[in-house]
Structure 1
Amino acid sequence: MRHILPPLAVAAAALLTGCMKDVRNDSLVTTLNAYSGAVRWDGLQSGLQYVDPEVLKAHPPTDFDLARYQQVRVSDYDDGSGPVALNDHEVKQTVRISFINNHTQAERSIIVHQLWRYDEKAKHWWLESGPPDLDPN
């Protein structure tokens, strides 16, 4: 019996770790889908709720940024091949966001390099790279 317990403990720990990763991965998929839906259908400003609160505190969007978000409507959100894991708690994703200016009806696209981080304590994925910059030039 002495030799059976350690392998069982190792197997149980591996199984729990695998389950934790599954929960984290499911949470990532849910968060990325919710974020893209919010941005696509409710506007860029609605995506701010997914940005890490510490990032928002350090770099709050200006009144000008918020006004720009109101001035455009997202026409396409293309996450390409999806997220790429950097480690167990971070993923990166490159997204093409197309938007139409409500005043001019001109359409533009920007490429956004997103960094998402999993907060173990909150059990939540946060957008670390901040909200998209509509004029990255």
Structure 2
Amino acid sequence: MRLAIAFVLAVVLTLAGCATRREQDQLQKVLDSYAATLRWGDFEAAYAFVDPKQRKAHPLTDLDRARYRQVRVSDYDVQSTVPQGEHEVRQVVRISLINHNTQSERSIIDAQVWRYDEQAGQWWLESGLPDITR
């Protein structure tokens, strides 16, 4: 009887680990894809990674779009990625930007919050696009 209980427990834990591993794999793909999108300077496409609730509450303005068009991303350096509970990850990234008009380069720190939406089966960026006005 103990062996049967141990076996069932092992199967349940293995299946739970598979779901977690799937989420981790998906997170890594999403983080890599988001980084590549920003490196290419496609802030409009990067906006699709933002949680739909955030997009609805804080839509991009024409001024935001103009500001993003004014810069080019020259470096995207992940400083840290730390899980914050079961379905949340915080990532800190140093983003170097070159202003098209002045050709001056500066760096900003982007503190990202990523959340896994179990219903959608998707990781969403809750913190929004980087604030390049700082």
Paired position in structure 2 for 1:17: 16
1:63-74 mapped onto 2 (5 Å cutoff): 63-74=62-73
Give the Å deviation of 1:63.
Answer: 0.9
Paired position in structure 1 for 2:105: 107
1:46 equivalent to 2:30? Answer no
State whether residues 43 and 74 of structure 1, in contact with CA within 8 Å, keep that contact through their aligned partners in structure 2.
no
State whether residues 43 and 73 of structure 1, in contact with CA within 8 Å, keep that contact through their aligned partners in structure 2.
no
CA offsets 1:37-65 (integer angstroms, 9 cap, x no match): 00001433321010001101011111100
Give the Å deviation of 1:104.
Answer: 1.3
Listed as ranges, the gaps of 5+ residues in structure 2 are: none
Listed as ranges, the gaps of 5+ residues in structure 1 are: none
Task: Select the residue among 102, 119, 122 that pairs with 1:121.
Answer: 119
Paired position in structure 2 for 1:37: 36
**What percent of counterpart residues are identical?**
49
Normalising by structure 2, we get a TM-score of: 0.94
State whether residues 90 and 117 of structure 1, in contact with CA within 8 Å, keep that contact through their aligned partners in structure 2.
yes
How many residues end up aligned between the 2 structures? Answer: 134
CA offsets 1:15-72 (integer angstroms, 9 cap, x no match): 0011111101000110000000000014333210100011010111111001111111
Paired position in structure 1 for 2:5: 6
